[in-house]
Structure 1
Amino acid sequence: MKDCDELKRWQQSLVNHLYWCAISSSSGEEAVAKWTSFSNHVQNIHSHDNVLFPECLHPALDGSRPKKWLKSASTALFKLQRIVSNKYLLKGVAKLSPRHQTSAIEGFHSVILRFAPKNVVFSYRGMLCRLYLASLHFNENGNREQLTSRDGTPAYKIKYPKHKKGKHTIQPLKKKPSYAYVDNLMRVFFDEVLHEPAKFTVELQELNIPDTLCSQFHRPDKQEAVAAYVSRFSH
């Protein structure tokens, strides 16, 4: 927006500050206090009214790293304060985890799509089996070690996602995935299932299959539905 170009200088600092609020706080209230202090920090004000975070923890700024401080009553500061103090965002900041992120579960969902793509319809049993396979694959490969070069340096890859608009992101390179769980499944199948299939068949038949979602709704009689539709336009 017009008169807000200077906020670009603070974009990465704001992202870093959000992560720092999560990992350095012992409570949600403390995380919110640290988060809202950013509105003062960008104005070169480092003392705050909140007793949970009365002042910034960085050392005194000597001017060796000049910053483009925001001016009070400026459009850029007003827009930034509206974002930082948004009540819905503050609720989310209070619930930030200091250790865990959603990347693991997002990776698991990506694995599910490989075993059960959304454009294919599966039965309940078929979907359940594919979820089991996705879980086996993810559990075996979710914590793969990072590749290293000959001198032992960790290997990384630079990527340029479209949503970054020209900016880069760093991705650690991992070792190739393992499929040892397939060998275990084949061993169980040939050593146990083929020799005594009745036991597994009974367990499969005893599986409690819930009703379909569409069965929960009432379907009207076709003639009654058509008559009601026609009567709406009879005038």
Structure 2
Amino acid sequence: MYSRLLLAALHYNHNGSREVARTHDGEVQYGVRYPRFRKGGWVVRPVKEKPSYAYASALMESLIEAYSRSPRSLQESSADLSSSAPAPLSTSFQMISKDEAVGLYLARHTRFNTGN
């Protein structure tokens, strides 16, 4: 999860300031979107250039270089990152049994309640 978060941050930082896409004539390209909150209404937005993934190859090259220099230190730093990762948020919740949850659900929705 931590690695995914870091990759997402790298991707955003690398592609956050993309230029507006242009036609062969040099005119700005636009797209029409229909967001749900508009309930059928439309929004015109300029189209951005395609995202670049050049950071990924540079990251892979530096990873290979670091591994070739010292595979053990890379494994140790990976283990350190894994051990310092926080527990999933779901572990902080108090669990409820499935039978109790279903009973509470049926009690709230009276049309399913048979009067027992």
Q: Which TM-score band (shorter chain)?
A: 0.5 to 0.7
What's the secondary structure of 1:191's corresponding residue?
A: helix
Query: Residue in 1 aligned with 2:13?
Result: 139
1:167-205 per-residue CA deviation (whole Å, 9 max, x = no partner) reads 210121111110001111221122221331111222222
What's the secondary structure of 1:194's corresponding residue?
A: helix
Query: Residue in 1 aligned with 2:106?
Result: none
What does 1:219-230 correspond to in 2, within 5 Å? none
Structure 1 spans left out of the alignment, 5+ residues: 1-126, 220-235
**Are 1:169 and 2:48 an aligned pair?**
no
* Aligned 8 A contact 2:2 2:85 in 1: no
* Aligned 8 A contact 2:14 2:52 in 1: yes
User: Larger RCO: Structure 1 or Structure 2 (Cα < 8 Å, ≥ 6 residues apart)?
Assistant: 2
1:91-139 per-residue CA deviation (whole Å, 9 max, x = no partner) reads xxxxxxxxxxxxxxxxxxxxxxxxxxxxxxxxxxxx0001011111111
Q: CA separation in 2, counterparts of 1:178 and 1:135?
A: 14
Structure 2 spans left out of the alignment, 5+ residues: 96-116
**Are 1:195 and 2:73 an aligned pair?**
no
Q: CA separation in 2, counterparts of 1:215 and 1:143?
A: 38
Structure-2 change in CA distance of 1:161 and 1:192 (3 Å): same
TM-score, normalised to structure 2, is 0.65
Structure-2 change in CA distance of 1:150 and 1:213 (3 Å): closer
**Are 1:210 and 2:86 an aligned pair?**
yes
What's the secondary structure of 2:57's corresponding residue?
A: helix
Structure-2 change in CA distance of 1:183 and 1:166 (3 Å): same
Query: Residue in 2 aligned with 1:3?
Result: none
**Are 1:185 and 2:56 an aligned pair?**
no
Structure-2 change in CA distance of 1:145 and 1:216 (3 Å): closer
- Pick aligned residue for 1:154 from 12, 21, 28: 28
What's the secondary structure of 1:206's corresponding residue?
A: helix
What does 1:1-235 correspond to in 2, within 5 Å? 127-207=1-81, 208-213=84-89
Query: How well do the aligned residues superpose, as a CA RMSD in angstroms?
Result: 2.4
Structure-2 change in CA distance of 1:214 and 1:148 (3 Å): closer
TM-score, normalised to structure 1, is 0.35
Q: Alignment identity in percent? A: 37
